[in-house]
Structure 1
């Protein structure tokens, strides 16, 4: 592959995964990227920032706050072309397509995104814990 392809592609990807590790018992996904950066994503974090329309909405201001996912796990991963992965969560959410670009960005911003999510839950009176029936 040419150096130009690694610099950027039609999906805006500039960083490519070298290794992807699904740690089901730890409920965690780890990715090593070609620039030396590595990110470790808890399943709960990936679930609540899913790029799916169900979570992000179809336009500005439609983002949903996903509560009750403290114990969510990852059942599997499915490649989507050469640019992304679909994550299959054990709460049956599977519509998010996580591009390498998106995974890199949320890896870099994970601390702030998580803090924002916790603040959003608190402001709406929601919990990370599942609702008991």
Structure 2
């Protein structure tokens, strides 16, 4: 797998609630853990087709507890809810950063339409 973009910095925030990624073209993104969790590229979230994609509620307080390299093309993020099956390629992370506003609003709209919340049910 090759990527058009290459990260020059990848840093987990001390509070484990965001991941900073800087690319060789100068683009820099601070991606919240919640956003990364609900947009996980895993089959568990994305399904095997667009019709199978899931809206993941209750992740407002999620933290990233691990960042593991996958070859030289991606990272696997481990979240404190034990989700660890998404492989985040460099291009995917770049798109998540560049399209964050639209993707986040679409997620919020999906939650509202389905009567779901960002807050975990107790």
User: Which whole-Å deviations, capped at 9, do the CAs of 1:59-88 have from their partners, x for residues lacking one?
Assistant: 131100000000000001000000000000
Structure 1 unaligned spans of 5+: 1-9
Q: Which residue of 1 aligns with 2:9?
A: 19
Please, which runs of 5 or more residues in structure 2 have no aligned partner?
Answer: none
Aligned residues between the structures = 122
Task: Give the aligned partner of residue 71 of structure 1.
Answer: 61
8 A Cα contact 1:44 1:73, kept in partner: yes
- Which structure is larger by alpha-carbon Rg, 1 or 2? 1
Cα distance in structure 2, aligned partners of 1:25 and 1:60? 33
CA-based RMSD of the aligned residues comes to: 0.9
Are 2:72 and 1:112 aligned? Answer: no
- Give 1:1-133 correspondences, 5 Å limit: 10-11=1-2, 13-25=3-15, 27-132=17-122
Q: For 2:54 and 2:94, how far apart are their aligned partners in 1?
A: 22
Deviation at 1:49? 0.2
Query: Where does residue 4 of structure 1 map in the other structure?
Result: none
TM-score, normalised with respect to structure 2: 0.97
Once the 2 structures are TM-superposed, how far is the Cα of residue 99 of structure 1 from its aligned partner? Answer: 0.2
Contact residue 24 and residue 73 of structure 1 kept, 8 A: no
Provide the C-alpha distance between the structure 1 equivalents of 2:72 and 2:81, rounded to a whole number of angstroms. Answer: 26
Q: Scaled by the length of structure 1, what TM-score is found?
A: 0.89
